[in-house]
Amino acid sequence: MDLTAVFFNELGAWTELSRTLLRIGLILVIAWVMLALSRRVIPMLRKQLQKHTHDPEQHKRLETLGRVLRYIAAVAITLVAVMLVLSELGISIAPILASAGIVGLAIGFGAQSLVKDYFAGFFLLLENQVHQGDVVEVAGLGGLVEEVTLRYIRLRDYEGSVHFIPNGSITTVTNRSRGYAYALLDIGVAYRENIEAVFDVIRQVAADIRADATLGPLILDELDLAGVDAWADSAVTIRFRIKVQPLQQWTVKRAFLLRLKKEFDRLGIEIPFPHLTLYPGQARDGSAPPLQLSIQK
């Protein structure tokens, strides 16, 4: 009788253990399926939303948010699965949660910068300040945004160097990729040149570029000629700008400078360099002639 009771007790224990292992296995399988679904459903949802908008900026934002949502979903599913497994093993979750809260508070005080990074990253994404594919300047560094996470922004500069910038260190974001941009140019010509004639040359070059099959589609509006901006030491500075598509300001600026240089050379318009005039200083009324220097060979 005692052996029979022991046998049934052992059988019951093994049966209960088998059921526990079965439930744990089921939890792990469901978690794995949910992770796989999140990796598939979120990109599908992102693509569907992108089909309803033709705004490239919105496409980039949806792509960045989709990547962050996949990360959040993976963390949430993993945490829930771990808690359920611990519950099946007979480990009370409540003390663990309480301990985790205390540990989290201690870690929060010791890792305030990390917490700050996550909060700043959340608002960067929420306010749509920056997303993947933008050209930005943050924390004194500029480049192409290759990745945006809740903790950092990864930039690649013009030289190809990669910078990881914690979100908590970002106070100002200068985004050069939103809506449109301006190719801003400051051109110096000699004081002896006819400024109105120079204006005509600039307008003609701008018209030629707008008629160009390659450069024309990059330009969004007519030339905005501000006029004479400064009297420099050896030049009259003329400022103007051209409204272009995002990230095309450098392409248009380089092309404009090249064509304008060729046109100035053709017309003999002087692009000045510093000059130095010496006066002997005999008179106070400014009538003293320039000092003539002769070089003896």
Residue 73 pLDDT: 83
Instruction: Name the class of domain 2-110.
Output: mainly alpha
> What whole-number distance in Å separates Cα of residue 33 and Cα of residue 27?
10
CB 209 within 8 A of CB 259: yes
> What whole-number distance in Å separates Cα of residue 30 and Cα of residue 42?
18
pLDDT confidence tier of residue 1, bands split at 50, 70 and 90 = very low
Whether 288 has a pLDDT exceeding 70, the answer reads no
Summarised one tens digit per residue, pLDDT across range 193-242 is 999 999 999 999 999 999 999 999 999 999 999 999 999 888 999 999 99
Whether 250 has a pLDDT exceeding 80, the answer reads yes
Alpha helices for 127-226 (secondary structure H): 195-211
Q: Count how many Cα atoms sit within 13 Å of the Cα of residue 72 in the half-sphere of its side chain.
A: 12
Q: Which fold has domain 181-267?
A: Alpha-Beta Plaits (3.30.70)
Instruction: Name the class of domain 130-175.
Output: mainly beta
CB 241 within 8 A of CB 232: no
Q: 76 is written with which tokens? A: 């949430």
Domain positions in the chain are 2-110, 130-175, 181-267
Whether 40 has a pLDDT exceeding 90, the answer reads no
Separation of first and last alpha carbons in the chain: 132
Q: 220 is written with which tokens? A: 């969004």
Among the listed ranges 86-90, 133-137, 268-272, which one has the minimum average pLDDT value? 86-90
Residue 150 pLDDT: 81
Instruction: Residue 292: count other Cβ atoms within 10 Å of its Cβ.
Output: 7
Residue 231 pLDDT: 92
Summarised one tens digit per residue, pLDDT across range 126-145 is 788 888 888 999 988 999 99
Please give the residue that has the higher pLDDT: either 76 or 221.
221
Q: Report which listed range, 111-115, 169-173, 204-208, is most confident.
A: 204-208
Whether 168 has a pLDDT exceeding 80, the answer reads yes
Among the listed ranges 135-139, 242-246, 276-280, which one has the minimum average pLDDT value? 276-280
Residues facing 174 on adjacent strands:
137
Q: 226 is written with which tokens? A: 């501000």
